Amino acid sequence: MSLNRIRLASTAGLAVVAIALTACTASAAPDDAGGDKVTIDKEHSVGAMDDFQAGTSFKATEPVTFDLMYRDMTAYPVKDDWSVFTHLDEDRNVTFTRTDIPAADLDQKKSLLIGSGEAGDIISVTYPGAETQFVSGGALLPVSDYFDYLPNFQQKVKDWDLQDEIDARTQEDGKIYLLPGLREKPDVQYSVIVREDLWKKAGITENPETWDDFADQLAQVKAANPELAYPMSDRWTDSDTLGSFLNVMAPNYGTAAGWGYSNTYYDEDAEKYVFTGTTDEYREVVTYAHDLIADGLLDPEVTQSDDQAAEKFTAGKSAAISGNTQSLEEYRKKLADAGMKGELRLIDIPGGPAGSNLPGGRLGPGIMIGADAADKPYFKAMLQFIDWLYYSDEGIEFAQWGIEGETFTRDGDTRVLNDDLGWGPVNPDSEKKLNADYGYSNGVFLMANGSSAELTQSLMTPEIADWTAAQLEAKTVLPIAPPAQLSEMELEQTSLQDTSLKDAVKSATAAFITGQRSLDDWDAYVSEIEALGSDQLIDTINNALAKSK
């Protein structure tokens, strides 16, 4: 069956009118495309290289210090003496004045700092679409005015055929305000991890072809292993009901759900957006999860913490749990530490009524630049550094692997992580970690988790590399939705509406799935959503889409 609907990230990802930001430190002239072609003068080129181009190894001609809004992860809290900072200082003449923000608070504090004009130069870990809410305030740099100073970025966009996706980030003023992470291949990491030994005990040796097949397998595993409390007890549920599980399912049902839910979804056949949470496709996903719980196949505790879900899995109380390419080794270690024996496998992503698909889009979280950065004497050098670190082959290898001879060696063309150093599934028992102890493989410095297919796969085990390749080969990558560029007034009108509708949909979704609300109430639920303004929201989006076209 062909898929006819595509998700739009959210109304926060729709373009708004922005104030044209022409830095007082640069001269601007119209280019052939009707935008601004900017030249950075000598006064704002302190530390910049004269001969910087794609493939050039960047080093500032004198020491420079940039402001950095840093996302601080609890799993690898920032350390001033990390190798990544030492080598950026010693080898690249770059240091930072950091504003460290815990990851859980990043979005809120980012908004406060940008709104108060205190964002600084480099604003890290921003997902495509999140920039839109800040554009009209004039606090962000229109980075598209400076693409000529980003030769590695331009080269990757050309070589990886990403121009259409970049163009989709254009705001209504014709400019782009986010430098996204770029991926050569689609990102595929998440599925379900199963206790293969218990699957085999139930006589199952094959991957489920569809989600209905997966439900049948859960029932067989339950019958063959009566000691299980539930054949599946899920993680990543406490903040978003079955967030990962529904997100993985949704593309093969022709909708968006879980982590990937947004109120707007593009219907290719009708060439317009529909309200996601009231479609038949969304109801199918909700009904599927509801039936798993009703049939005793899925633990109804859908607000449990990750630790609670992992404990059930590693204690043998469940046989399946949402996971990804990194958590597979995590669970193996937990099983071993608990004295449990068991074989684990990340299943191929099952298909569904809409086919066997992967979400479209190869842009990952990236960076915004504060508008005031254009007034800094080191502005040109900063653009060169950003282009080198995030988009050059040398820069992304450094950000992921670190320094040859210190964190890794080479065996021919193959990089080999030091034996005493671990990351994800590589050397999982090592006490020292590439991110926690050295600062590499860190989303602040490595957008899109590696960018190139070769680098992304370079820190995978053969098992995970084979799994990833199999998903990419077997599945259809969905096209991206066309942008609907909202004006500032339209964005203001829809932003609160969008939030209240999303909250209502997610609350009802949880109630339907757990049985707290009967699926017989679906029509009443749809009426409730319409009363909150879903039709008006979609009309606004589609009117903006028509203007964009």
**What architecture is domain 210-319+337-358?**
3-Layer(aba) Sandwich (3.40)
Tens-digit pLDDT profile for residues 438-490:
999 999 999 877 788 888 888 888 899 999 999 999 999 998 888 888 887 88
Alpha helices in 210-339 (DSSP H): 211-224, 243-249, 280-294, 306-314, 327-337
390-435 pLDDT, tens per residue? 999 999 999 999 999 999 999 998 999 999 999 877 888 899 999 9
**pTM above 0.85?**
no
* pLDDT at position 109 over 90: yes
Task: Give one word for 55, left, alpha or beta, with left for phi > 0 and alpha for psi -120 to 50.
Answer: left
Please give the Cα distance from 12 to 496 (Å, whole number).
Answer: 10
CA distances in angstroms from 318 to 2, 35, 204, 310, 327, listed in the order given: 35, 57, 16, 9, 16
Does residue 91 register a pLDDT over 80?
yes
Q: What is the pLDDT of residue 541?
A: 94
Q: What is the CA radius of gyration of the chain?
A: 24
Distance in angstroms (rounded) separating the CA atoms of residues 20 and 422: 46
Average pLDDT score over residue span 196-220? 97
What residues does CATH 3.40.190.10 cover in the chain?
A: 63-186+361-477, 210-319+337-358
Task: Give the residue among 388, 547, 513, 291 at the shortest CA–CA distance from 56.
Answer: 388
Three-class DSSP labels, 150-199: CHHHHHHHHHCCCHHHHHCCCCCCCCCCCEEEECCCCCCCEEEEEEHHHH
What is the pLDDT, as a whole number, of residue 425?
A: 79
Is the domain defined by 63-186+361-477 classed in CATH 3.40.190.10? yes
Tell me the C-alpha to C-alpha distance, in Å, between residue 475 and each of 191, 206, 251.
14, 17, 11
- What is the pLDDT at residue 36? 61
Residue with tokens 């331009």: 154
DSSP 460: S
